[in-house]
Amino acid sequence: MSTVLIEIRRAKVSDATSVAAAHDEAWRTAYRGIIPGAELEKLVQRRGPAWWDGAIRKGSRVSLFCFGDQIAGYSNYGRNRARSLAYEGEVYELYMRPEFQGLGFGRRLFTAARRDLAQNGMKSLVVWALSDNEPALDFYRALGGRPVARSSETFGTKTLDKIAFAWPA
């Protein structure tokens, strides 16, 4: 019998390549058929190991969900960027590799990000999801998020709607 260590921890510079791989796989799975192919490719390519190395070195809050020696998912979070929304914190990204989805690991990663934000004085929280990404919408609803705003984002020639989910303090 073997035991696999599951942990949530802050990313280190040495994790940049593995975070980029998790990002690549998760984004291709989440957005294939939603974001136009060429635009999705650009978004994935921009966020390679060098980008993650820089983000981690600059002190961005990047937490990893580690399953054994594999990075199964990550979250990136900090202060709310939308001044029109009266929430202190924001989860910018939360993604799990496809084989780790639906197992409760994303919930654990979200809870850890929310706890870290609260410990740093950001007790209320918002997260944005593309309205065509049904699994993400279902995930945030299941976590108790309530839709509080709508906006849109353009990817090449395609404009997609997005929804802000919020958790008050």
Backbone angles phi, psi at 39, to 5 degrees: -70, -40
Mean pLDDT score, 1-13: 91
* Region 153-158 average pLDDT: 96
Domain span at residue 106 reads: 6-167
In a domain, 32, yes or no: yes
Q: What are the pLDDT digits (tens) for 78-131? A: 999 999 999 999 999 999 999 999 999 999 999 999 999 999 999 999 999 999
Q: How confident is the model at residue 4 (pLDDT cuts 50, 70, 90)?
A: confident
Instruction: Give 71's pLDDT tier (boundaries 50, 70, 90).
Output: very high
Global pTM?
Answer: 0.94
Write down the pLDDT at residue 99.
96
1 part of a folded domain: no
Residue 69 domain-assigned? yes
**Is there a domain that residue 121 lies in?**
yes
Torsion angle of C-alpha atoms 14, 97, 128, 77, degrees rounded to 10: -20
The arithmetic mean of pLDDT across residues 135-143, rounded, is 97
What mean pLDDT, rounded, does the chain reach? 96
The type of residue at 59 is G
Asked if the structure places residue 36 within a domain, the reply is: yes
- For residue 26, the domain's CATH number is 3.40.630.30
For the segment 151-155, the average pLDDT, to the nearest whole number, is 97
**Tokens 């060098």, residue located:** 50
As for how many domains the chain has, the answer is: 1
Give SS3 for 123.
coil
Question: Which pLDDT tens digit goes with each residue over 32-49?
Answer: 999 999 999 999 999 999
